[in-house]
Each structure stands twice: as structure tokens, then as C-alpha cells.
């Protein structure tokens, strides 16, 4: 399985799981991939997405399924609040994110919450090392990510 960071033509970001790159292409072609927010089938792949690292202070737990855990809640406003919280309470380290997350994990740097950019490969590597990183769709993307 591979996971892609996807965005629709309304700039909603979400993740999609596919068995292969060909599978992704085929499903997009057949308009079987749609935005969970607006239902658009104009989907494009993002090369990287903003990620947040909690500095290890949060116990590892399965990410709750947003749709079941938050049913009946105004997810948009909840998500906006979360994004604001992350922005206020984490340090933007930009492309240094994987290095900083690692330094914090191995206690080479003070424990704190950071946010920044990382590729899917970086994230996989960090998770393999036991470092908790979360994808936070909706964080402002750097200029070269704006489409």
C-alpha cells in the first residue's frame, strides 16, 4: 500500500491509500477518487505536506478516525481551532523538520513541538524510528507548494 497526500481543485487536502501508483492513476482517471470535503473528482497529488511533531510528549495512540470520532461535530471549525492551536504552540522549522524531529527524539535538542515540511519518505523513516509525526492538512503551505 502507498499513501498519497492529495488535494482537490478547491485546495482541500486529504490522504488516500492505493495499492500502487498505477492504481492511483487508474482510480483518478475513472473519477473514483473524490474529495471528502466537497466531493470534487479533480484530484491532484501533493509532493509533500505539512507535518507536526509533538516533541514526544503525547503518548502514542491510534489516530481516531475523524469521521466516526467527530460525527455530529462541526469538523471545519474544530479543524480550524486545531490548526490555530498548532500554529500558536509549535515552532516552524521548515525543511529542517525531519532533522529537528530526530534531534528532539534522541534528546539532542530540548523537547518541544515543532512543525514543518517533510516528504512521505522522511515521514516513513521517522515513524520507523518510533517518532510520532502527524499530518495536519490545512496548515499554511510554503510558497512553492501553493497551486
Contacting residues toward Zn ion, per CB under 5 A = 8, 10, 12, 35, 37-38, 40
Q: Least separation, in Å, of the C-beta of 13 and Zn ion?
A: 9
Closer residue to Zn ion (CB): 21 or 38: 38
Name 35's Cβ contacts closer than 8 Å, sequence gap at least 6.
8, 10, 12, 14, 41, 43
Q: Based on CB atoms, which residue is closest to Zn ion, 10 or 89?
A: 10
Residues 96, 103: contact at Cβ < 8 Å?
no
Residue 28 beta carbon to Zn ion: minimum distance, rounded to whole angstroms: 14
Q: Is the dihedral of CA 44, 48, 50, 54 positive or negative?
A: positive
Give the nearer residue to Zn ion in terms of CB position, either 40 or 119. 40
Map residue 92 onto helix, strand or coil: strand
In this structure, the number of other CB atoms found within 10 A of the CB of residue 69 comes to 10
Nearest approach in angstroms of CB 80 to Zn ion is 16
Nearest distance in Å: CB 143, Zn ion? 22
- Residue 93 has φ and ψ, to the nearest 5°, of -110, 5
Please identify the residue of the shown chain whose CB is closest to the bound Zn ion.
35
Amino acid at each position: 500500500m502507498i499513501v498519497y497526500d492529495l488535494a482537490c481543485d478547491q485546495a482541500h487536502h486529504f490522504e488516500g491509500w492505493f495499492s500502487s501508483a498505477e492504481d492511483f492513476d487508474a482510480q483518478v482517471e475513472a473519477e473514483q477518487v473524490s474529495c471528502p470535503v466537497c466531493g470534487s473528482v479533480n484530484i491532484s497529488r501533493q509532493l509533500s505536506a505539512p507535518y507536526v511533531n509533538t516533541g514526544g510528549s503525547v503518548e502514542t495512540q491510534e489516530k481516531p478516525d475523524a469521521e466516526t470520532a467527530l460525527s455530529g461535530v462541526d469538523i471545519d471549525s474544530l479543524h480550524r481551532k486545531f490548526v490555530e492551536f498548532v500554529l500558536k504552540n509549535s515552532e516552524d522549522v521548515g525543511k529542517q523538520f525531519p532533522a529537528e524531529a530526530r534531534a528532539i527524539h534522541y534528546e539532542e535538542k530540548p523537547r518541544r513541538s515543532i512543525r514543518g515540511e517533510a516528504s512521505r519518505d522522511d515521514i516513513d523513516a521517522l515513524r520507523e524510528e518510533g517518532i510520532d509525526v502527524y499530518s495536519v492538512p490545512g496548515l499554511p503551505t510554503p510558497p512553492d507548494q501553493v497551486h
